[in-house]
Amino acid sequence: MTDTSEADRGNAGARSLEMIARADIDAWFVREVLPLEAALTQYFRHNWRDAAGVADFLQDVYLRVYEAAAKEFPTSTRSFVFTIAHNLLVDRVRRAKVIPLEAVENFEALNVPADVPGPEAHAVARDELRRLEAALEKLPPRARQAFALHHIEGLTVREIASRMSIGERGVTWHLNEGLRALAATLYGEGEKP
Amino acid sequence: MSDKVTDREREARTAAGSAEALRIEAADRILARRLSPDWNEENQRELDAWLEDTAHRIAYLRLDTTWDRAGRLEAFRPFKRPVPARAPQSRRPLIFKFAAAAVAAAAILASSVYLSQPAMRTYATAVGERQTITLTDGSTISLNTNSVLKLSANANARLAVLERGEAFFQIQHDALHPFIVTAAGHRITDLGTKFIVREESDALKVTLIEGRARIETAGNAAKKRATDLTPGETVLASADTLRKTMRPVARLKNEASWQRGVLVFEDATLADAARELNRYNTQKLVIADAGVAKLKFDATIPTNGIQTFTRVAQQVFGLKIERRDGEVIVSR
């Protein structure tokens, strides 16, 4: 692509750059894949004894989904994601010393949960606020306070630190904890058992 | 405080190599980027390098989106707290300065609600930033780069003043409480709509994507002009003129692509693209000669994608790139 011939210039209408594709995959991933986290988590818990491994499982699924999408976007995100999740679990079952039999049977009849028609946009926006409020309530108290002070009251880290009488690194610590817990609640993974 | 850090380290160690450890690191990076008062270009480069790894990127996207979603909690601020703790007496002059603009809207609504309750909240974005505001009625407003918006919404009326920049409005229609946007003195009244308002150097540009809206120019009664917009229409309003153009609605989505953090250029000149990108970046693109400025291309470029632009310029057009004093100079 360092060639600067006229042909290249003439072809200016049809090029794609890696970085561009990446922004598109990011947007697709956030819009279509992350909302499946609740269903994926449920699927994992039904089919795998050790529920504690759900974060690793999700990360594995997402990684494969993202990398596959970088080559080609699937026509149906949902069946694409669940096929990958299914294959991953089958691999795990095969590698595990004790094979959970019911799990294997379930796999044979893998049904991709159907797409539920979404509610209207304004209902979603209102729901979103209610969900956020509920998710905030579930945070550990200090994390909740730090989150509320920043996102609702609009305070800076320094201001939160003085309000909570802790250091700035303490604030960041609570926000870190809160952010991870909030993601888990909002995307439906829920609290760990 | 120090034992907190030790806790963190312990947690990270036990979770080493696991998805949880990755989440902790991603969250730390998000907080640093979002909250550091002195975040600089070097920090950004280091973050970009870290995000080259897809596993890192996934963990980051998931939490960064969560942070954005949490940002909507802000909707509780103006409504649940009509007198926020951070609005001391010293803010009053600002409110009174605004009152003049509010009077017009209040008069139309035959309501003195703004005067008795001047709870205007100001939202501002820096260059390259954007922000989404969700109202309790489900309406949303996305504020683009380098913009200032004042908002007042309560049980009686909804009013927004775009003081600078660009905003995308998605308004839930309520016949009793119309949503009114004023900008550069012009007034837009929604009739249940999606529309974009953008301040340009010599005119206000209003693009209607869905629904219906009405725009009235700023001029005095004799010169005042008004028109109803239908989807696909764009109006350029100056002090006393209105100019309307029509495009297929499908093309309009490019106008709102900044909400996804990208700019879509179709058959655009390098000069147009540079001007647009310059709105989002502190580093400014300068096109050194007229011939170069006229070159046309199509591309989707991240709003912070000065580098994508320079790659197009170098690789597609074989141009020279020179960096100096915060400027990126493009020439033959």
Copy the structure tokens of residue A114. Answer: 């159907």
- A44 vs chain B: nearest CA distance in angstroms? 15
Measured between beta carbons, the chain A residues lying within 8 angstroms of B65 are: 30, 34
* A12·B4 Cβ contact <8 A: no
Copy the structure tokens of residue A19. Answer: 């970085």
Coil, strand, or helix at residue A102?
helix
Which of B19 and B6 is assigned the larger pLDDT?
Answer: B19
The candidate with the shortest Cα–Cα distance to A143, out of A190, A182, A191, is A182
Measured between beta carbons, the chain A residues lying within 8 angstroms of B141 are: none
Which residue positions in chain A have pLDDT lower than 50?
1-20, 100-109, 114-119, 121, 190-193
Q: Structural domains in chain B?
A: 2-70 (no CATH), 81-252 (2.60.120.1440), 261-331 (3.55.50.30)
B330 has a pLDDT exceeding 60: yes
For the entire predicted model, the pTM comes to 0.47
CA angle A176, B56, B73 (to 5 degrees): 40
**What is the DSSP track for B196-225?**
EEEE-SSSEEEEEEEEEEEEE-SS-TTT--
* A12·B18 Cβ contact <8 A: no
Q: Choose from B61, B264, B295 for mutation: most chain A CBs within 10 A.
A: B61
**Tens of pLDDT along B70-105?**
988 877 764 333 333 333 333 334 444 344 344 434
Domain boundaries, chain A: 16-108, 121-186
Measured between beta carbons, the chain B residues lying within 8 angstroms of A167 are: 1, 4
**A7: Cβ contacts below 8 Å, ≥ 6 apart:** none
Question: How many Cβ atoms sit within 10 Å of the Cβ of residue B91?
Answer: 13
Coil, strand, or helix at residue A54?
helix
Per-residue CA distances from B43 to A15, A173, B37, B131, B272 (Å): 30, 20, 12, 22, 29
Alpha-carbon torsion (B324, B325, B330, B332), positive or negative: negative
pLDDT at residue B46, as a whole number: 92
With cut-offs at 50, 70 and 90, classify the pLDDT of residue B172. Answer: confident
CA-to-CA distance for B223 and B257, rounded, in angstroms? 35
ipTM tops the 0.90 cut: no
Burial of residue B272, with CB atoms counted within 10 A of its CB: 0-12 exposed, 13-18 middle, 19 or more buried: middle
CA-to-CA distance for A25 and A58, rounded, in angstroms? 17
Measured between beta carbons, the chain A residues lying within 8 angstroms of B302 are: 19-20, 23
With cut-offs at 50, 70 and 90, classify the pLDDT of residue B153. Answer: low
**A3: Cβ contacts below 8 Å, ≥ 6 apart:** B318
B6 has a pLDDT exceeding 60: no
The candidate with the shortest Cα–Cα distance to B233, out of B223, B225, B243, is B243
Q: Give the domain A121-186 fold.
A: Arc Repressor Mutant, subunit A (1.10.10)
Tell me the CB-side half-sphere exposure of residue B206, using CA atoms within 13 A. Answer: 35
* B315·A2 Cβ contact <8 A: yes
